[in-house]
Amino acid sequence: MQIVRTVAETRAALRALRSKGLTVGLVPTMGALHAGHLSLVRAAREQCEAVVVSIFVNPTQFGPNEDFSKYPRTFDTDGKLLEEEKVDVLFAPGVDEMYPSGSTTFVTVEEIGDRLDGASRPGHFRGVATVVAKLFHIIEPDKAYFGQKDAAQIAVLRRMVRDLNFPLELIACPTVREPDGLAMSSRNRYLSSEDRTHALTLSKTLFHTEQRIAAGTFTARTLIDDAVAALAAKPHIRLDYFRIIDPDTLVDIENVRNGALIAVAAFVGTTRLIDNLLTAPR
């Protein structure tokens, strides 16, 4: 695995791969890798001839009071995991390489970018869209892989790819869960063992809502009210949102018969967690 730190080195590494006619899959990450990330790398490995992973804790997607400085940075362990997955190139730039001083150009995906996590975390998706657009320009992948756990991020990036004519396919891979249902997340590392138990309420509420849909409750308002009441009754959970929405536009829907995204975000202790389920049409 070639580890590259600069845009110029990365472009040279990619030119070498392309000169052999290889298709390129990109897995953008912020590191602190877990089984969810590795599932993206494996999907890229199966579908592409060369795999590039980026590790960059992107400052522009964190709000002023968020966890940028304490975000877990585990580069050595991450590197070993990626070697084992036979990744071809690991791009791990510093902040100055990605945002040279005086950088003032950003990508804003209007409307969708202000919904869901974009509403709770103003500017978050501007930071995500900007850094991902930069990665797409630097690496020029044929396919790029993202986890379904970040459902709003996928909607925002799909729109960006479409609107800005990026010549690539964006692939959403299923959320990877712990055996007890907790969605894997780098932020799970912040949870105490008690918090971790409380955090299970999020996936349990999603699965319970899905069961109710399967049993014939299709009115989103009813499902939301019941889920919010259940979550509000838990003293260790501070709910941000529980929504039932269209997965492409992130707009609320009234009836779930045609399929829907059920999405939740909540603080468990001081840790903000998100999770979601995509339901099939009935």
Would you please indicate which residues are annotated as catalytic (active-site) residues? Answer: 37
3-state secondary structure of 11: helix
Residue ranges in 163-222 that form contacts with ligand PAF under rule CB under 6 A: none
Of the candidates 32, 90, 107, 128, which one interacts with ligand PAF according to CB under 6 A?
A: 128
Residue tagged 């409380």 (tokens): 198
Given a contact cutoff of 8 angstroms between Cβ atoms, the answer to whether 98 and 135 are in contact is no
**Min. distance of Cβ 128 from ligand PAF in angstroms?**
5
**Min. distance of Cβ 109 from ligand PAF in angstroms?**
13
Of the candidates 117, 150, 210, 275, which one interacts with ligand PAF according to CB under 6 A?
A: 150
**Min. distance of Cβ 29 from ligand PAF in angstroms?**
5
Q: Please report the DSSP string for 27-51 in residue order.
A: EEE-S---HHHHHHHHHHHHH-SEE
Instruction: List the structure tokens of 38.
Output: 């590795």
39 binds ligand PAF (CB under 6 A): no
Of 26-34, 104-112, 164-172, 254-262, the segment contacting ligand PAF by CB under 6 A is 26-34
- Of 7 and 228, CB closest to ligand PAF: 7
Cα separation of 155 and 276, whole Å? Answer: 13
* Radius of gyration of the CA atoms of the chain, in A: 19
Cα separation of 149 and 29, whole Å? Answer: 13
Cα 44-85-143 angle, rounded to 5 deg:
15
- Of 10 and 153, CB closest to ligand PAF: 153
61 binds ligand PAF (CB under 6 A): yes
Of the candidates 131, 156, 206, 213, which one interacts with ligand PAF according to CB under 6 A?
A: 131
CA-wise closest residue to 37 among 6, 77, 94, 4: 77
**Size of residue set near ligand PAF by CB under 6 A:** 10
3-state secondary structure of 227: helix
**Site track 40-59 with ligand PAF (rule: CB under 6 A), x = hit:** ------------------x-
Residue tagged 């990605």 (tokens): 98
118 binds ligand PAF (CB under 6 A): no
Q: Rounded to an integer, what is the distance from CA 1 to the centroid of its chain?
A: 24
- The one-letter code for the residue type at 222 is T
Cα separation of 213 and 53, whole Å? Answer: 38
- Of 54 and 201, CB closest to ligand PAF: 54
Cα separation of 48 and 141, whole Å? Answer: 10
**Min. distance of Cβ 200 from ligand PAF in angstroms?**
22
Of the candidates 26, 132, 156, 273, which one interacts with ligand PAF according to CB under 6 A?
A: 132
Of the candidates 25, 28, 36, 79, which one interacts with ligand PAF according to CB under 6 A?
A: 28
**Min. distance of Cβ 147 from ligand PAF in angstroms?**
7
Binding site for ligand PAF (CB under 6 A): 28-30, 58, 61, 128, 131-132, 150, 153
